[in-house]
A and B are shown apart, each in its own frame.
Chain A
Amino acid sequence: MNRRGNEFDWLAELDGSERDTVDGWDRLSESERLRIERLDVEVLGQLPETLDPVEPSPGVKAELMAQIAAPVVTPFPISARSAPPRWLLPLAATVAVVAIGAAVWMAGTVREQQAQLTELQGQIEGYAALETSLSAARENLSLVSSRGVEVCPLRPVSGTTGDERGPFGLLFVASDHQHWYVRVAGLEAQPDRYYRVWFETEDGMVPAGDLLGQELELGAPTMPEGTRAIHVSVETTPNAETPSGELVLFGNDMVRVS
């Protein structure tokens, strides 16, 4: 182990068998070895005294003393804190007010834009529904105006009303005898009244759907096979599987229009 400092590392090279031979190292106690090592260091420290002294140039000492007297320069002084300048507080307050105002203005703008977006979304949905409705209307118009269409008038079921101004309807059936469209008038649309359309076949009453909207109309691309009449009943629940309410309209006379 090198017991000396870095300045004396050269001496460590001498530890070895030669040291035993020259200094009888292995016979010495630890304290004697330490004493010799210390003496060796001092012997070496004397060697420069065998050289002729060289007086340094006159400026060397002055330069050295100037170096130690020079203040330590720190890139970011951490000396005592000075009081903040007077303008700092008003400036900070102004910045804070501006920041708050900007935040409020931005929040209002965002809310307004969100409302506009919601309104636009509603309009888009309305346009989509209108487009669907128009598409259905065009399809129905195409049906009722198509060549070979047959029409079946729906009249009030006997006994339900004697009023000539009572409900009535028309069933249009395309020439393929599948695509159909029915529209009814004179029946009041109410929340708890569902006007259910039925096709009468040999197997009984087949549900075709509830009349929809204020116009009370309905259509579909297919018709049950063997249909011989059409009925409209008033139900208390939507999508009834069998007619349980009053039958209000009936038709079975198909008339070819063109």
Chain B
Amino acid sequence: MEPAVEDRKQRAAEDRALVARLAEGDEQALSALYDRYASMLLALAIRVVADRAEGEEVLQEVLMQAWRQAERYNPDRSSVSTWLVMMTRSRAIDRIRSRKVVDRTLAAAQQEESRTHESPEGSRNVLHQERAIRLRSELDELPKEQKQVLELAFFSGMTQREIAAETQIPLGTVKTRTLLAMKKLRAALKDELRELL
């Protein structure tokens, strides 16, 4: 088994154990989960809300939600990291929807994407760093139009219909491009994702 896959499988098992401890009220488990995912979740939150302070508020809310609702986590539905990612995305999108500043968010997100951030967690974990590079590479290999619809849907919280209106392309085409992007990523990541299912 490849080191990256082995590492991911190990991390997934540790994550599940941490969530089980969260459900029992173990504060140290929350601390450990924070150390593992805070930088990634904050990057996601900032990518969506385009504001660092607000992104940190989202981060705190998500980890509080994980603390309170740990017993609701279902490993059959997603990995822990995906569970946290989806909660972060959902809360961040709720914020920008309430602000109704999608346009501003898109512009700011592009700026955010061009910056580089130091991450001690990422620096310590070479495997993780390598994987991030590979994921980025897979994403970059997608046709531009497919990458665009996927990012608008995931990071900007736009519906398929909103994307169609934003990009001036038919709704069916938007869906097809999104599905093609998902299919390619699925194929590219299937080896490491296999261990999670």
Binding site for B on A (CB under 8 A): 4-8, 10, 13-14, 16-19, 21-23, 35-36, 38-57, 60-61, 63-65, 67-69
8 nearest A-B residue pairs (beta carbon): A45-B82, A53-B119, A7-B86, A53-B39, A48-B44, A22-B179, A51-B43, A18-B175
- Complex CA gap A10/B63 in Å reads 22
Q: How many residues of B contact A (CB 8 A)?
A: 69
Separation of A44 and B56 alpha carbons in the complex (Å): 21
Q: How far, in whole Å, are A17 and B47 apart by their CA atoms in the complex?
A: 31
B117 within 8 A of A: yes
Q: Which residue of A lies closest to B155 (CB)?
A: A47
Q: Which residues of B are found within 8 Å of A49, using beta-carbon distances?
A: 40, 128, 131-132, 135
The interface bits of chain B over 102-135 (1 if a CB of A lies within 8 angstroms of the residue's CB, else 0) are 0000000000010111111110000010011001
B52, B82, B90, B160, most chain A CB atoms within 10 A: B82
A60–B38 CB distance below 8 A? yes
A48 contacts B85, C-beta separation under 8 Å: yes
The answer to whether residues A55 and B44 also contact, given A10-B153, A22-B180, A47-B154 and a CB cut-off of 8 A, is no
Min CB distance B156 to A, Å, is 11
Contact A51 B183 (CB under 8 A): no
Are B175 and A13 touching (Cβ within 8 A)? yes
Type the 1/0 row for B23-58, where 1 means its CB is closer than 8 Å to any CB of A.
000010011001000111111101100001001100
A7 to chain B, nearest CB (A): 3
B56 and A21: CB pair below 8 A?
no
Q: Please list 25 pairs of residues, one from A and one from B, whose beta carbons are closer than 8 Å in the complex, sorted by A's number.
A: A14-B182, A18-B175, A38-B197, A39-B193, A40-B186, A42-B79, A42-B189, A44-B82, A45-B81, A45-B83, A47-B150, A49-B131, A49-B132, A52-B117, A53-B40, A53-B117, A54-B39, A54-B55, A54-B119, A55-B119, A56-B59, A65-B27, A68-B30, A68-B64, A69-B27
B:64-86 near A, CB below 8 Å: 64, 67, 77-79, 81-83, 85-86
Q: Is B60's CB under 8 angstroms from A64's CB?
A: yes
Which B residues lie within 8 Å of A50 (CB)?
Answer: 132, 135-136, 139
- Closest beta carbon of chain A to B83's beta carbon, Å: 8
B184 CB to nearest A CB, Å: 10
Which residues of the partner chain A approach B59 to less than 8 Å between Cβ atoms? 56, 60
- Mark B151-167 against chain A: 1 for CB-CB distance below 8 A, else 0: 00111000110000000
Q: Is the CB of A18 within 8 A of B86?
A: no
Say yes or no: is B144 at the interface (Cβ < 8 Å to chain A): no
Chain B: CB-nearest residue to A7: B86
**Residue with the greatest number of chain A CB neighbours at <10 A, chosen from B132, B178, B182:** B182
Chain B nearest CB from A1 CB (Å) reads: 15
- B4 on the interface (CB 8 Å rule)? no
The answer to whether B131 touches A43, judged by C-beta atoms less than 8 angstroms apart, is no
**A20 CB, nearest partner CB in chain B, Å:** 10
**Chain B residue at minimal CB-CB distance from A19:** B179
